[in-house]
Amino acid sequence: MDKGDKIYVAGHRGLVGSAIVRRLQADGYDNLLLRTSKELDLREQAAVRAFFAEKKPDYVILAAAKVGGILANDTYPADFIYDNLMMEVNIVEAAHRHNTKKLLALGSTCIYPRMAPQPLKEEYLLTGPLEPTNEWYAVAKIAGIKLCQAYRRQYGCSFIAAMPTNLYGPGDNFDLKNSHVLPALIRKFHVAKENGDASVTLWGTGKPLREFLHVDDLADACLFLMENYDDEEIINIGVGEDLSIAELAGIVRDVVGFEGEIVYDASKPDGTPRKLVDVSKITGLGWHAKTGLRDGVAQTYQWFLDNQAELRGVG
């Protein structure tokens, strides 16, 4: 990508998109095409086609998505499958119609089967049943992968798909009803500390194993892939190491400074038992994550403290 190329980052105000924009701007890319969801509803085909017809982006990074944790997926299944399907279909088709040079679609490691062998290799896609607690989102993301592959096969489009592991960092969603586990832990321990609570209750047993990638590392990986990867097969983005939810909770508690007890409500679902990605493909190309988890959590907590007044679901 040249510095003056027109680069459309779909979802630029979200956790992922905002990190990608920060990185592009820091690297001197100054012709970014950015639209809020109010300015351009990606679920509306006519609007997306009109935008692409007018702007004709050279490169597209598809970071727009409706995302959330177990509770959100269970509460809004229709929204999760419809919104994500429509955004992917409309952008991929428009990119093809208007000769986008390259498109990167970002998925999620929830596309892998619930009981797939660990670590998760790219070839495990569609080899078994999905985790029920997020299948709506996963099915939509799998469709996005297949869209990219189909347009590559039929039209020769340079469309690639990458699967990041669990993400966190500045710009995350801290609303307890809709957030993922790490920002939810930050919020819960912070509130408990402020209230002087004796304990914090967490969903599940604390035993599931998870991997966490700082969103700035993901942004770095996205630019790396735009320059160095052009293949039909999906590629994982992660750190290659995991830890239990209980271990994560301990790190977050220490960073926040909460001194009370952690209680686990085993009547609540755990989700997938383990979700560690095999990163040998991307590391073989020369990319590695740089941010340590404790440092990343501390940075994210500081961002939370600095931005509480404006955050979703935080008053």
Q: Is residue 186 part of a domain?
A: no
| CATH code of residue 95 | 3.40.50.720
Binding residue ranges for NADP(+): 11-17, 106-109, 141, 164-167, 180
Q: Tokens 């501390």 belong to which residue?
A: 298
Token code pair at residue 168: 């966190």
Binding-site residue set: 11-17, 106-109, 141, 164-167, 180, 188, 203, 210, 270
User: So what's the pLDDT on residue 103?
Assistant: 98
pLDDT for 48 equals 98
Residue 135's alpha-carbon distances to 69, 80, 128, in angstroms, are 12, 9, 12
* pLDDT of amino acid 314: 58
User: What is the DSSP annotation of 235-248?
Assistant: EEES-S--EEHHHH
Range of the domain at 280: 7-173+211-241+275-292
> Catalytic one among 137, 151, 229, 301?
137
Distance CA 293, CA 88 (A): 31
Average pLDDT estimate for 286-296? 98
- Residue 252: C-alpha distances to residues 89, 212, 263 (Å): 38, 13, 14
Helix, strand and coil in the chain, % to nearest 5: 45, 15, 40
Predicted confidence (pLDDT) at residue 311 exceeds the cutoff of 90: no
Please report, rounded to a whole number, the percentage of residues in the chain having pLDDT higher than 70.
99
What pLDDT does 180 receive? 82
Quick check: is 21 in a domain?
yes
Place of tokens 């500045």: 170
Residues 6+ positions from 261 with CB-CB distance below 8 Å: 198, 199, 200
pLDDT tens track for 230-256: 999 999 999 999 999 999 999 999 999
CA distance 167 to 207: 19
Residue 271 is predicted with a pLDDT of 77
pLDDT for res 56: 98
Q: Predicted confidence band at 313 (pLDDT cuts at 50, 70, 90)? A: low
Is 137 a catalytic site residue? yes
The verdict on residue 85 lying in a domain is yes
Inside any domain, residue 178: no
Q: Is residue 19 assigned to a domain?
A: yes
Number of domains in the chain: 1
Provide the pLDDT for residue 309: 82
Binding-site residues from annotation for substrate? 188, 203, 210, 270
Cα 230 from chain centroid (whole Å): 21
Q: Taking the mean position of all CA atoms in its chain, how far away is CA 8?
A: 18
Separation between Cα atoms, residue 70 and residue 134, nearest integer Å: 6
